[in-house]
Structure 1
Amino acid sequence: MSSTLTTRRGTAVAAALMSAALLLTACGGDGDGTGDKAAAKTRSVKAENGTVEIPAAPRRIVTIGNTNLPFIDLGGKPVGVTEVSDSDLAVLPKEQKAAYEAADVVGSSGGDVDLEKLAALKPDLILVQFHSNDWGKVGKRLESIAPTVLWGLDTEWKAFAREIATAGNVTDELDRQKAAFEKKVAKIKKTHGKTVDDTKFVDVSRGDWSDPGTFYIADIGCSEIARDDIGLDLPEAAEGKDPLAYDSLPFEQITRLSKYDVITYPVDAGGRPTKPFAPVTKTNTWKALPTVTSGRALGVFCPGNNSYGPVLRYLDSLDSALATLSTK
C-alpha cells in the first residue's frame, strides 16, 4: 500500500512538473529568460485569407499597401512599409511622417515587395491591403515569412480601422479616435442641421490621373462620409453601377453644376485648390457659375478617408466650410 501510494505521489509530482514545463513553454520567451510572456501568446483573427493565428502583442509589424498610413495613424510604428505617394506624405502630421520615415521601405507597391529585405526585418506580423492580383503574386510567400493578415480593397473604412487596430494591438487609440469622430459628427449635425436638410450639394474633383480638360463628380472618398455620416444631399451612382467618379466629364459640362445649391471641391491644407483641380477653377465656365460668384463653392480639405485621423481633419474642414453658408 505504501509503495503504491509513493508511486502515485511520484507520478502526480512528475505530471505536475510536466504541466508546469508546458505552461512555461507556451507563455515564456525564447529560452534566454528575457522573453515577454504576453508576446508569446497568440490569438486568431479572421481575414480575407482565412483565419490567421497572430501574436497577441506583435512587436515587429510590416505594413504593405493601404495598411501603411492607417496603422501609423493609430499610433503604430511599423518596422517595414511600402512606398506611399509624396502627396500623402505631405499632409501627414509631423509625428506620423517621422514614424513612416523611420521604417524600412520594402517595396514600391504590394506586388513589388522585396521579400528578402522584408524577411531580414524578422517581422512577427504582416498587414496587407492591395489588389487580389498582387496577393496572387506574393501572398503565399508573405505567409511563409510571418503571420499575414489580408484585407480586400472593398473593406469599409471603419471596419478596416477596427480590424487593423485589433490585429496591431492599438485598440486604445482607435477607441479615442472613434469617440472623437462620433462627437464631431454630432456637432456638425446639430450646428448645420438646417443647412444640410435644405441644400442640394455636389462634390467635384479631379486627380493626377484625369485626362486634360476633364473633371468628375465625386461620390466616393470623403464625399461618402459627408453623405453617409453627415447627411449631405449628394449625387451618387445607382446601386450596382460604377461610381460617378469613374466617369470623366469635359470642362464643357461644368455648366451642369449650376443646378446644385452648393459645390464642394478639393483644396490643400492651406485652402488653395489642389494642383490637379486648379485647372477647373481657372476656366471661364467655372468662374461664371452662379454658385461660384455667390460664394457657395466651398473648398474642403480631405487628407484621406481610410482611417479616423484624416477623416477627423476632413470633418473639421467641412465644418468650417458649412459655417460660411450662414452668411451667404
Structure 2
Amino acid sequence: MSTTSLGRRGAALAAAVLSAALVLSGCSSNGEEPAASGGQLHTITADNGSVEVPVAPTRVVTIGNTTLPFIDMGGEPVGVTDVSDSELSLIPAEQKATFEAATNLGTSADQVDMEKLASLKPDLILAQFPASEFEPLEKELEAIAPTVFWGLDVEWKELADGVAEAGNVTDGLTEQKTAFEDKIATMKQTYADIIANTKFVNVDRWASSDPGTFSVADFGCVEIAQGDLGMDFPQAAEGEDPLGWTSLPFEQLAELSQYDVITYPVDAEGNPTEPFAPVVETNTWQALPAVNSGRALGLFCPGNNSYGPVLQYLDSLDAALATLPATE
C-alpha cells in the first residue's frame, strides 16, 4: 500500500491511485454523480466551497481534527487518521472504542493511504487540517468521495455545526448544544458578581515549553470562559499573535499578583498537568496572593473542538468557581 507523501508522489502513482479511487467509489471520469446513500443529496458549504453530500451517509471517513468531534456527536467513522494518545486518554471509553474500531489511514492528513481510503468505499470524507496540506490532496480525495474540508482557523462551534450537518449527527449536536446553552446560562446567573468584578488570568505550560518558562494563555478552553461567560482574562489585541505564543521566565510569575484569580491546567484527577507541575513547585508561585488565599483554580480541559469536552471544562470551571471565598 502507498501513502501520500508531499513532494515525493510521482505522476504514475497519482494516476493509479486516482483510477482506483474512481472505480472503488462508483465515480466516473465523465462527470456522473456517484451513487449516494439513499440517492438523496444536499449541499454543505465549507472552506472548499459548496459540496453535494449524501443526506444520510453510512460510510464516513474523518481526517485530521474532524475525527473526535464526529465521534463525540455519536458518529461511527469507517476510517480515521491518528489521534494522539494524550487526546485518546481524555475521551470516554466508548468513544475510544469507536475510534479504535475504524480503519487507520495514516499518522496525519498528509500521510493518508489513498488506496486504503478508496478501498473503504466511503460516501463522505470530513477533513480539517492546514489548508496548505489540503490543496495537493484535494482532487484525489474528491475523486474517492464527496469531501468537506475546513481549515484550522474555523471557529469550533462552526466546525461542530458543519460536521454534524454533513455527517448526519445533528441529533447528537442538538442535545449537546442544549446542555451547553443551559450550562452557560446557569453559570452566568450563579456567578454574576464574580464575573463582573474579578480580574482573571489563565496560565499554562506545555511539554514543548523551554525549561523555566510559562505562558499567559489566551487560547484553548479559556476562550469559552472569555467569549461565552464574559469573564475578564487577558487576551491579545485583534490581529496580534496570541499571548500564549510568548514564553515567560518563571521570575515573571510574581507579576500575576495583579490578578484576583489565577487559573491553571490540571488532569482529570485534579493534579497539575505534568508540564505545568514545575510552575507550582516554585517559591514564586507559592508566594502569590491568589495561591495563598484559595484563588488559584486548577481547571480540567480535555479539549475545545466540540461540545462534549467543552461541557467537561465548564463542569470543572463551575466546581472551581464555587470554591472561591466570598467577595468582600
Task: Output the CA distance in 1 between the equivalents of 2:264 and 2:252.
Answer: 16
- State which drifts further: 62-71 or 202-211: 202-211
Supply the AA of the counterpart residue of 1:62. Answer: V
- Partner deviation per Cα, 1:65-121 (whole Å, 9 max, x = no partner): 110100000000001111111111001011111111111110111111111111111
Identity %: 62
Task: Specify the alignment match of 2:189 in structure 1.
Answer: 190
Spell out the pairing of 1:154-173 with structure 2 (5 A cutoff).
Answer: 154-173=153-172
Task: Output the CA distance in 1 between the equivalents of 2:278 and 2:140.
Answer: 44
Runs of 4+ aligned residues of structure 1 deviating over 3 Å after TM superposition are none
Task: Output the CA distance in 2 between the equivalents of 1:39 and 1:271.
Answer: 48
TM-score (norm: length of structure 1): 0.87
Task: Specify the alignment match of 2:142 in structure 1.
Answer: 143
Task: Specify the alignment match of 2:9 in structure 1.
Answer: none
Spell out the pairing of 1:255-274 with structure 2 (5 A cutoff).
Answer: 255-274=254-273
Supply the AA of the counterpart residue of 1:235. Answer: P
Task: Output the CA distance in 2 between the equivalents of 1:230 and 1:104.
Answer: 39
Is it true that 1:246 corresponds to 2:264 in the alignment? Answer: no
Task: Output the CA distance in 2 between the equivalents of 1:59 and 1:130.
Answer: 23
- Kindly tell me: are residues 293 and 95 of structure 1, through their superposed partners in 2, closer, same or farther at Cα, counting changes over 3 Å? same
- What is the Cα deviation at residue 37 of structure 1? 9.2
Task: Output the CA distance in 2 between the equivalents of 1:159 and 1:82.
Answer: 21
Task: Specify the alignment match of 1:93 in structure 2.
Answer: 92
- State which drifts further: 93-102 or 310-319: 93-102
Q: Secondary structure at the match of 1:137?
A: coil
- Kindly tell me: are residues 37 and 137 of structure 1, through their superposed partners in 2, closer, same or farther at Cα, counting changes over 3 Å? closer
Task: Specify the alignment match of 2:8 in structure 1.
Answer: none
RMSD: 1.5
Task: Output the CA distance in 1 between the equivalents of 2:181 and 2:115.
Answer: 42
- Partner deviation per Cα, 1:168-216 (whole Å, 9 max, x = no partner): 0010111110000000001111111111111100001111221111111
Task: Specify the alignment match of 2:208 in structure 1.
Answer: 209
Structure 1 stretches lacking a partner, 5+ long: 1-29, 31-35
Supply the AA of the counterpart residue of 2:227. Answer: D
- Partner deviation per Cα, 1:234-290 (whole Å, 9 max, x = no partner): 000011101101111111111111100000000011000111111111111111111
The answer to whether the 8 A contact 2:37-2:123 is kept is: no
- What is the Cα deviation at residue 136 of structure 1? 2.4
Task: Output the CA distance in 1 between the equivalents of 2:118 and 2:284.
Answer: 55
Structure 2 stretches lacking a partner, 5+ long: 1-25, 27-34
- Kindly tell me: are residues 246 and 37 of structure 1, through their superposed partners in 2, closer, same or farther at Cα, counting changes over 3 Å? closer
Task: Specify the alignment match of 2:152 in structure 1.
Answer: 153
Task: Output the CA distance in 1 between the equivalents of 2:38 and 2:93.
Answer: 29
Supply the AA of the counterpart residue of 1:191. Answer: T
- What is the Cα deviation at residue 315 of structure 1? 0.3
Task: Output the CA distance in 2 between the equivalents of 1:155 and 1:270.
Answer: 31
- Partner deviation per Cα, 1:19-76 (whole Å, 9 max, x = no partner): xxxxxxxxxxx9xxxxx99622111111211211111110010100110100000000
Is it true that 1:53 corresponds to 2:35 in the alignment? Answer: no
> What is the number of equivalent residue pairs in this alignment?
294
Supply the AA of the counterpart residue of 1:228. Answer: G
Q: Secondary structure at the match of 2:171?
A: helix
The answer to whether the 8 A contact 2:36-2:53 is kept is: no
Supply the AA of the counterpart residue of 1:54. Answer: V
- What is the Cα deviation at residue 152 of structure 1? 1.4
Task: Output the CA distance in 2 between the equivalents of 1:204 and 1:42.
Answer: 46
Task: Specify the alignment match of 1:23 in structure 2.
Answer: none
Supply the AA of the counterpart residue of 2:147. Answer: T
Supply the AA of the counterpart residue of 1:248. Answer: S
Q: Secondary structure at the match of 1:230?
A: coil
Is it true that 1:223 corresponds to 2:222 in the alignment? Answer: yes
Task: Output the CA distance in 1 between the equivalents of 2:115 and 2:105.
Answer: 9
Task: Specify the alignment match of 1:235 in structure 2.
Answer: 234
Task: Specify the alignment match of 2:278 in structure 1.
Answer: 279
Task: Output the CA distance in 2 between the equivalents of 1:281 and 1:39.
Answer: 57
- What is the Cα deviation at residue 137 of structure 1? 3.0
Task: Output the CA distance in 1 between the equivalents of 2:233 and 2:286.
Answer: 22
Task: Specify the alignment match of 1:289 in structure 2.
Answer: 288
Task: Specify the alignment match of 1:310 in structure 2.
Answer: 309
Q: Could you say which structure has the larger radius of gyration?
A: 1
Q: Secondary structure at the match of 2:215?
A: strand
TM-score (norm: length of structure 2): 0.87
Task: Specify the alignment match of 1:25 in structure 2.
Answer: none
Supply the AA of the counterpart residue of 1:179. Answer: T
Supply the AA of the counterpart residue of 2:167. Answer: G
Q: Secondary structure at the match of 2:158?
A: helix
